[in-house]
Chain A
């Protein structure tokens, strides 16, 4: 069975702090895909990144970076120099091609000024 665990329910930081959101997944398949979505208070789920199981290269996009480690079944997300606009719920998700997205329960990030 597939499962995604986001152990951090809520995180609060002050602007300019770095913050890492943890994601641990379970799957028996060798081919799978991992995602991060951001859900601001407006409600829309915004796609941030997609990773396939054969690509363990870390990725950086501006202030965002992702660390994928198959050895620990983790796909962690780091925001550098956080800003108030980063306040949102962040979901990690997992699927195989053609199957439903399995979401974690989400981590609520609050960034104060």
Chain B
């Protein structure tokens, strides 16, 4: 089945220790998104890639970076995690970005990050 896969499902890191979260997709979609969802809150968009074009949200902290080496994979790097970065990180994909309904987003299962 075509899907969005996130690894690992649970990640524990130490305060200040860099961590990388992974997302892959078999949908061959052009757009990949990273969302942060804190406990009992709505998902918040951090950034997205439209093909190789990186688009950062204005209020995304510099501590968060992303890489998309190819169509299938996208990584979220947190350079120096703080306690406030503990959250669920959701990856999503869409076939297109500006052409409804092809911009419907499909989400992966998420990675729950704990910062000690």
Binding site for B on A (CB under 8 A): 33, 35, 37, 42-47, 50, 52, 91, 97-98, 100-101, 103-106
Contact = CB atoms under 8 A, between A and B. Distances in A.
Q: Which of B40, B88, B100 has the most CB of A within 10 A?
A: B100
Contacts of B90: 43, 45
Q: Is the interface of A mostly helix, strand, loop or mixed?
A: loop
A97 B116 CA distance: 39
Q: Is the interface of B mostly helix, strand, loop or mixed?
A: loop
Contacts of B106: 47
Interface stretch (B21-29, B41-49, B67-75, B77-85): B41-49
A45 to B, nearest CB: 4
Given A43-B109, A44-B109, A44-B110, A98 B98 contact: yes
Given A42-B109, A50-B104, 7 more contacts: A46-B107, A47-B106, A52-B101, A91-B42, A97-B100, A103-B43, A105-B42
B30 interface: no
B108 interface: yes
A45 B107 contact: yes
A5 to B, nearest CB: 11
List the 5 closest A-B pairs by CB distance, nearest first.
A103-B42, A45-B107, A98-B98, A43-B110, A44-B109
A50 B101 contact: yes
A101 B42 CA distance: 11
B92 A45 contact: yes
B105 A47 contact: yes
B100 A106 contact: no
Contacts of B105: 47, 101
